[in-house]
Structure 1
Amino acid sequence: MSVTTPTPEPTPDDVSRGLVALERHLAEQASRPASRPPAIPSETRRVRQLRAEVAEAHALADLQDDDTPLTLDTPKVRKRRKAAHEAARLHALAQDPAMRAWQAARMRRLLVTMALISLTLALAWSTAGVQAFAADDAPAWSPAWIFAWLVEPFLSLALLVVVGARAYTATRNQPITAPALIRIEWLFLALTVGMNAWPYLPLVAEEFSFSRLVLHVLGPIVAVAIVTALPIILAAFTGLDHGPLTGLTYRANTGPQGADIATLTDRARRLIDNGELPAAPSARRIQRTLRCAMDAARAVRDALTEGESR
């Protein structure tokens, strides 16, 4: 049988020594450096690249089902739509009666200008031929030789006066149809052709050459063609129907005057004689052809009817 020995109670000195030992231990622990956690290895370039590819794939998967970009117009589509819209507006503008009348007037002015320039050049071309005919073997620089150069210019100027007057009046819907003036015009042309062709005709020229004859009559032939064609072209332009131009042709707050009706009636009779108006035109047809107000057109129609009944 064992006997336990009772533990002696600590004395105050033992307690003091224990506290000193505890303080020393805590001081030693505090003076030691703190232990670091184990280092985590950093991501490599391949890991970062793969992580970015995965993130991009998720973003593309979320966005590719959205059709909003497909509904937007590309720059090429917008350019085509703009061009189509502009073409539609230009086409609509071209159908406007005022625009059609402006285009016809512009084209008529251009054609008249070109015709007169061509006529002037054609007459200038024949100047040398007329000079050779008029000089009649006169010595060079003699008075007869010098004055021979003036024959074609004054003849051409007289012809241009007649042609210019007929062209201008035709553009104002009042063509000159006087037979005397037309005969004068053809007389000038015949003189020009004859003086150019005479020295080179068969049995007249010492050595006939068809090419020289054609070369010298080329200018007069062109002049004859222009003088013949120009009144026909202008008459065709005058007869064009551009549609109603009510905003430009009606007079505001004024009725038709007697003098205006008489003038318009005379113009209508001339157009009827030329076949540009029927024998009994309607007021609407008169208004479109004469470019006058509807009240004036009705008055002209009544005047024409009264003139036929007499």
Structure 2
Amino acid sequence: MTAAAPTPEPRPEDIERGLAELERHLAAQAPATEQPREADGVTKRVRRLRAEVAEAHLLAKLQDDDAPLLLDTPKVRKRRKAAYEAARLHELAQDPIMRAWQADRMRRLLLVAAMVSLTLALGWSTAGVQGFAAEGAPQWSPAWIFAWFVEPFMSLALLVVVGARAYMGTRGQPITSKTLTRIEWLFLALTLGMNAWPHLPGVVDEFTVSGLVLHILGPVVAVAVVTALPIILAAFAGLDHGPRTGPSYRANTGPDIDALAARARLLIASGELPPTPGADKIRRALGCGMDTARAVRDALHES
């Protein structure tokens, strides 16, 4: 059996030749890599620049449009809403019905405050009246205890009179009775006298102005409230809220003599008119004509 001849080692020339043939083969198989072009020769760079130019033209056109500037921002809308609300509230405040409602609410508030002040003032004088009525009786004796009830029953009687006059005044029917007026002043004079007497000079051992003022403070406030309340209520009753804007339920064929007579009674109660005013004084006080003033005068005389 014959042994195989050994394979000769490749020479450097053979290796170089094989590498060259391999490069030629790969070059022949690879596709041509040219820069992509369109049919008109526009490259990707040209397309990008063309898009930028078109965008710039659109932006320039939109910048000339003021529509975005005409839109209200949330802050502007909030301020506009507040302004419209303030205007509507002002318009509502000028309505005669609203003005009448506001006046009635204020009148009730002042009436409540006056009655509370009167009650506190009479309560303040209770201690002074008790000291006057007890006349030095021993503490917790029957006379000392019953002396505490003198001011309360006087105050309750006075509050009945003042409350009735105040209520009727709010209804446009003031009470002009001289008898009730005398009763009011009688109770107030008794309260003032009983508070002041033990602290007058010559009665008290050591007179001081501060002690006298402190004890007559309650009765003085009560006198002020009783005097001022009818005048205040008469002023509210005489308010002119302007012509009605709501529906009318009866024909307004002339001046309302009954309403004018009620206003005249309030002015009489407040002292702005005499008890039996003449037509000329009624005309000046109510701002009406002479014929209407005569009719109001006759209505006052008939009542």
Of 34, 37, 48, the residue aligned with 2:33 is 37
CA contact (8 A) 2:238 2:263 kept: no
TM-score (norm 2): 0.69
CA drift at 1:71: 1.5
Structure 1 letter corresponding to 2:228: A
Number of equivalenced pairs: 252
Q: Is the 8 A contact 2:197 2:203 kept in 1?
A: yes
> 1:186, CA displacement in angstroms?
0.6
RMSD over aligned Cα, in angstroms?
4.2
Q: CA deviation at 1:231?
A: 0.5
In the alignment, residue 203 of structure 1 is paired with which amino acid?
G
Contact 2:257 2:292 in 1 (8 A): no
| 1:255-294 map, 5 Å | 267=262, 270=265, 275=273, 279=279
Q: Give the TM-score, by structure 1 length.
A: 0.67
Asked if the contact 2:237/2:266 (under 8 Å) is kept, the reply is no
| Unaligned segments of structure 1, at least 5 residues | 1-27, 41-50, 256-260, 289-297
Alignment correspondent of 2:62 = 63
2:113 counterpart of 1:117: no
Report how far residue 168 of structure 1 moved.
0.9
Amino acid across the alignment from 1:68: A
Structure 1 residues 307, 116: CA separation in 2 closer, same or farther (over 3 Å shift)?
closer
Question: Which residue of 1 is the match for residue 142 of structure 2?
Answer: 143
Task: Using the TM superposition, give the Cα deviation of residue 250 of structure 1 relative to its aligned residue in structure 2, in angstroms.
Answer: 3.3
Q: Whole-Å Cα distance in 2 between the matches of residues 93 and 67 of structure 1?
A: 37
Contact kept in structure 2, 1:133 and 1:195, CA below 8 Å: yes
Distance 2:235 2:299 in 1: 29
Shift of 1:82: 1.4
Query: Letter of the aligned partner of 1:216 in structure 2?
Result: H
Aligned sequence identity (%):
63
Q: Specify the alignment match of 2:186 in structure 1.
A: 187
- Give the letter for the 1:207 counterpart: E
Q: 1:66 and 1:278, CA in 2 relative to 1: closer, same or farther beyond 3 A?
A: farther
CA contact (8 A) 1:104 1:237 kept: yes
Q: Distance in 2 between matches of 1:271 and 1:214?
A: 34
The Cα of 1:242 is off from its aligned counterpart by: 1.1
Question: Secondary structure of 1:203's partner?
Answer: coil
Q: CA deviation at 1:81?
A: 1.7
